[in-house]
């Protein structure tokens, strides 16, 4: 479980991006952070893997303060997927997925074998494995981004607007794939979106962020729709 305990983030220019946030993200679930632009969703997400340090308060993973986790352990435990996929442009699709496991000590051969399996899992044909990211469609790049994050087999996956750069039909397809993968792999997923429909479709729990860097609601989609 991931717990925010009175977390505030004030940027050096004085902007309070997250104001006294307390909530719990369940293990093995998809928790969605939703809300308009600028209300602190990305900041909250990035504090989970310490890309951003809170100004005050604590974030606990399975009861341990993330500030006590060695950096290398955090990278292994928490995968990260961003809008536009953030792929390495000068590496092939296969090597984008295989690189991190190789850095972690897997042999190149094994890592490439595993990468092919992961690409299949996210619905990318093996014939595209030798291409470079620029030679793929947006939807295909996003699939590679998910495969790359899964390559280290992290129990937790953070996804920041993973589907917002693709057209609606592809988005639909990627959302289905994510739900299928989640059913298979049971990861703890925290996903940021500004799209309430996406939040309701994907979330086991939905955290609604509002103006003023506040948490307005935290509920299941069924409860949100009933409210
Ligand atoms: P969201 O993901 O909901 O769009 P962000 O977490 O990106 O929100 O941003 C929350 C607020 O913090 C916004 O007002 C944004 O302008 C501000 N902000 C984000 N990053 C920085 C930064 N590095 N320095 C100063 N202000 C920032
Ligand atoms: P999507 O619906 O997934 O966004 P696109 O319409 O962007 O798909 O692309 C359709 C097909 O064209 C894909 O199979 C993709 O591999 C191929 N493609 C797109 N851009 C390029 C490119 N720059 N070079 C080679 N093939 C490309």
Q: What is the 3-state secondary structure (H, E, C) of the chain?
A: CEEEEEEEEECCCCCEEEEEEEEEECCCCEEEEECCCCCCHHHHHHHHCCCCCCCEEEEEECCEEHHHCCHHHHHHHEEEEECCCCCCCCCCHHHHHHHHHHHCCCCHHHHHHHHHHHHHHCCCCHHHCCCCHHHCCHHHHHHHHHHHHHHCCCCEEEEECCCCCCCHHHHHHHHHHHHHHHHHHCCEEEEEECCHHHHHHHCCEEEEEECCCEEEEEECHHHHHHC
What's the gap in Å between 130 CA and the centre of ligand 2? 14
Summarised one tens digit per residue, pLDDT across range 152-182 is: 889 999 999 988 878 888 889 889 988 988 8
**d(Cα 118, Cα 147) in Å, to the nearest integer?**
6
ipTM computed for the complex: 0.70
Residue 146 or residue 83, greater confidence: 146
pLDDT beyond 80 at 212: no
Q: From the CA of 143, which ligand is nearest?
A: 2
Sequence length of the chain is 227
- Closest-lying ligand 1 atom to the alpha carbon of residue 18: 10
Which residue CA neighbors atom 26 of ligand 2 most closely?
135
Spatial CB neighbours of 108, under 8 Å, sequence gap ≥ 6: 98, 102
How many angstroms is it from 137 CA to the middle of ligand 2? 4
Largest CA distance in the chain: 53
pTM of the entire structure? 0.85
Cα→Cα distances 135→55, 56, 152, 217, Å = 41, 44, 25, 41
Which residue, 198, 205, 84, is CA-closest to 146?
Answer: 84
- Centre of ligand 2 to C-alpha 86, Å, is 17
Q: CB of 11 closer than 6 A to ligand 1?
A: yes
> Can you give the pLDDT at residue 197?
93
User: Which residue has a Cα nearest atom 3 of ligand 2?
Assistant: 139
Q: How confident is the model at residue 56 (pLDDT cuts 50, 70, 90)?
A: very high
> Residue 69: which pLDDT band, with cuts at 50, 70 and 90?
confident
Residue with tokens 């984008």: 96
């Amino acid at each position: 479980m991931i717990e925010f305990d009175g977390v505030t983030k004030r940027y050096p220019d004085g902007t309070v991006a997250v104001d006294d946030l307390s909530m719990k993200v369940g293990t093995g679930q998809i928790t969605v952070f939703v809300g308009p632009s600028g209300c602190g969703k990305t900041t909250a997400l990035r504090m989970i893997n310490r890309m951003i340090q809170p100004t005050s308060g604590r974030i606990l993973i399975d009861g341990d303060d993330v500030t006590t986790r060695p950096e290398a352990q955090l990278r292994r435990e928490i995968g990260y997927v961003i809008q536009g996929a953030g792929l390495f442009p000068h590496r092939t699709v296969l090597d984008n997925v295989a690189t991190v496991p190789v850095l972690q000590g897997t042999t190149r051969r094994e890592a490439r074998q595993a990468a092919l399996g992961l690409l299949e899992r996210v619905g990318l044909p093996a014939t595209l494995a030798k291409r470079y990211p620029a030679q793929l469609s947006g939807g295909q790049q996003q699939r590679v981004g998910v495969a790359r994050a899964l390559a280290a087999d992290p129990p937790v996956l953070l996804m920041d607007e993973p589907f917002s750069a693709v057209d609606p039909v592809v988005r639909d397809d990627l959302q289905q794939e994510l739900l299928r993968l989640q059913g298979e792999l049971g990861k703890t997923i925290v996903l940021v979106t500004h799209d309430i429909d996406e939040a309701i479709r994907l979330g086991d729990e939905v955290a609604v962020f509002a103006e003023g860097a506040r948490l307005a609601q935290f509920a299941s989609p069924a409860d949100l729709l009933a409210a």
